[in-house]
Chains A and B, each alone.
Chain A
Amino acid sequence: MRIGLPLLFAAFFLMVTGSQGATLDLVVRRGLLNCGTDNTNPGFGYLNTRTGQMEGLDVDFCRAAAAAVLGDSQKVNFIVVTDKSRFTALQTHQVDVVFAHTTIEPERESAVGVDFLPINFYDGTGIMVKVSSKVTKFDELEGATFCTTQGSGIEATLASAISRMGWRKSTVLTYENLERLFIAFNAGRCDAMSTDRSALVSWKANSARPADFKILGETLDKSPFAGFVNQGDPRWRNILRWIVFGLFQAEESGVTSVNIVERLKTADPFVQRVLGVTGSVGRDFGIANDFVAKMVAQVGNYGEIYDRNLGEKTSYFLERKGTPNAQWKDGGLIYSPDWK
């Protein structure tokens, strides 16, 4: 039933709007990109009450898309979506694209009817420890007491991780909610707190002394986040896919918002193609040929976006090195196809 209603909506609107390639024209004519994001999830999409600005990894992807399609990262209209409303908002054409820490699941493409963009963040069950315990890796937690919440499914994840390591003396405590779990963890009852990495980040940042806690690099299971668009407009989907890839590739090629001006004069033919100095990728999509250069100049490459929202200097620091969120050259999974 849960997916039945959105399906109905989708079918209805497909009948009404049927035509292909309409989204790009609509956005250009409107001069504004309607982008769905969360505003309650620090690090990903959230309204900074001090500055009054939207901030987060997802928010910056919206800005980058606006810069690529409309040439100006400010020409974006943030529409707040919730976990429940994010699919219907898209199907009713309230938004053109959604970036809202959404996990890729087969039902969402088969039954709900959305197309996922490339994965822009690899989330999953993470482990947080106290800095004073001097633990740096999951392997060192033999005999530790793990704490998680009831009904999250993480109990089973932890059980299999512990038995995979062959640890007989590790215990798992399950609490009713994250609040009680965090009090117990803070009091030292638990050696390790376990829940989604993105949630760990907020609990750490909102604690009295964030520097006392450390989130380990390991991820115990998979929860890949990606933006998504409506099915039925392949051109719009392809444009957004290459917008995401463009941000990845810019980082890999070492193009940043700082050096973009001089890198535009590069002699490297590969970088020339990425930045749209040569070739016609952007033009053939129907957007600016230098869309990658525009995104990087105004918003930054993927690494800059990550550092700005989840990097060391932020209160929501999530280690990138050694995780799937690193560039593929550093052993991660952030990978753009070649731009040859």
Chain B
Amino acid sequence: MTARPRRLANPTERLWRRQVIRLIVLAALGTVITLLIRALEHSLADQGIHFSFDYLFEVAGIPISEGRTLGIAHGWPVLQEYLPTDMNSQALLTGLFNTVSVSLMAIVAATVLGVAAGLGRFSSNWLLRNMCFAFTEAFRNTPLLVQLMFWYFGVLLQLPPITAVAHLLGAVTVSVHGISAPRIDSLLPAGVGLLLCLLAMLMWISTTALRQVNRRARMIVIWLIAALVVLALAPAIPLNVDYPISGRFQEFGGVNISPELAALVLAISVNSAAYIAEIVRGAVDSLPIGQWEAAASLGLTRSDLLRQVILPQAVKIALPSLGNQYISLTKNTSLGIAVGFPELFNVTGTIANQTGRSLEGFLILMVTYLLLGTAISFAVNYANSNALRVG
């Protein structure tokens, strides 16, 4: 018996069939989700829990050791110091502020350190090459939590107490209470300074576009930026310097970096740097050996070879993986709770404990981390498409 040839549906019929299948799948998915939500609502109602975000506008009543929050002053939103009398939402914003600032600091530090360690693997110096190898392997192959504990309890908390500490450069102190340094205050209103900075940044971005067009136009813009920076700083001369003052227990005034913040930034950036070093090494390794040979035969020095030929090509390969690394770095800040750093996860937990609203808290937490991750991936994608275009 011969096999019956399969009847081929005509295109319209195929289209219809596909639409119907899509509808069925969509309906099934919708039903499942609705059922799940219903079940959740029921079980919550059984326990007398009512889902509500009203608690966000109640007084938090909890202390947070550092960080700033959003407040309203003269009808404008401003960054201000968090107080226990603020609302729960403001406490959460303080946690978000801390998470974002740790992430930003760690991204910068990890990138610099990681690129250096990654390129170090190609050094002609045996010691440097192997030190970079040892660094990468040591920090890539131990748990991040253990490293965090090491930095905090093993290093930073072993520093001398405030009463026995040396004053470096007259005013900088490094003690078990953290690092204190004088702060230079601009007398300009914060908003104006911010505006000038934004303007300078916009102009800097425009120089990238101008690079192709006109060298002279680019120089003019750079001079304009310099003028803006001087303008922003000018009212601060004579500079108002806020020196830290030794209190009975700690230093007041100036800038203070707490050991918790320092430990978290250190641990996360060093750990991420190890991964970034591998990404960079992999990207450089993936370039054909001919690129090295060709550049060398042109008589380029080793550093010119790296900067002009190898790195520009390697960056394009490394960028997507770097984006992944930045996202996982940001999520890793939630380990801050282990050393008492009040990042978003820590603050959310404390508030959930005080208010009993843990489900709502976790929802906020998930959405916030999702947004942070998405923002980073957008930024990296933008940089990536830019690099591909320019390249």
C-alpha gap A171/B83 in the complex (Å): 11
B182 in contact (CB, < 8 A): no
B247 in contact (CB, < 8 A): yes
Residue on B nearest A151 in the bound complex, by CB = B353
C-alpha gap A133/B153 in the complex (Å): 21
Interface string of A54-95 (1 = CB under 8 A from B): 000000000000000000000000000000000000000000
Which of B61, B247, B338 is the one whose CB lies under 8 Å from A169?
B247
29 residue pairs A–B, Cβ–Cβ below 8 Å: A141-B249, A142-B248, A143-B248, A144-B248, A144-B250, A145-B177, A145-B249, A147-B340, A151-B349, A151-B353, A156-B354, A158-B63, A159-B63, A160-B61, A171-B66, A172-B65, A173-B340, A174-B65, A174-B342, A175-B340, A180-B338, A183-B153, A187-B158, A188-B161, A188-B176, A189-B157, A189-B176, A189-B177, A191-B249
Q: How many A-B residue pairs have CB under 8 A?
A: 88
Interface residue ranges of B8-32 to A (CB < 8 Å): none
Q: Which residues of B contact A175 (CB under 8 A)?
A: 339-340
- Chain A residues bordering chain B, tally (CB within 8 A): 32
Given contacts A143-B249, A189-B177, contact A150 B157 (CB under 8 A): no
Residue on B nearest A163 in the bound complex, by CB = B84
Which of A159, A176, A191 is the one whose CB lies under 8 Å from B62?
A159
A176 touches B337 (CB 8 A): yes
Interface residues of B (CB under 8 A from A): 61-66, 84-85, 153, 157-158, 161, 176-177, 247-250, 252, 259-260, 337-340, 342, 346, 349-350, 353-354
C-alpha gap A175/B338 in the complex (Å): 7
A143 touches B157 (CB 8 A): no
C-alpha gap A104/B349 in the complex (Å): 27
A159 touches B61 (CB 8 A): yes
C-alpha gap A188/B248 in the complex (Å): 13
A21 in contact (CB, < 8 A): no
Residue on B nearest A190 in the bound complex, by CB = B340
Quote the shortest CB–CB distance from A106 to chain B (angstroms): 18
B350 touches A151 (CB 8 A): yes
A189 touches B259 (CB 8 A): yes
B338 touches A176 (CB 8 A): yes
Residue on A nearest B63 in the bound complex, by CB = A172
Given contacts A183-B153, A187-B158, A187-B176, contact A143 B61 (CB under 8 A): no
A153 touches B252 (CB 8 A): no
Given contacts A163-B85, A174-B340, A187-B158, contact A155 B350 (CB under 8 A): yes
Residue on A nearest B176 in the bound complex, by CB = A188
Closest 3 CB pairs of A and B: A187-B157, A172-B63, A159-B84
Q: Which residues of A contact B252 (CB under 8 A)?
A: 143, 169
C-alpha gap A189/B259 in the complex (Å): 8
C-alpha gap A147/B342 in the complex (Å): 13
Quote the shortest CB–CB distance from A145 to chain B (angstroms): 7
C-alpha gap A153/B61 in the complex (Å): 10
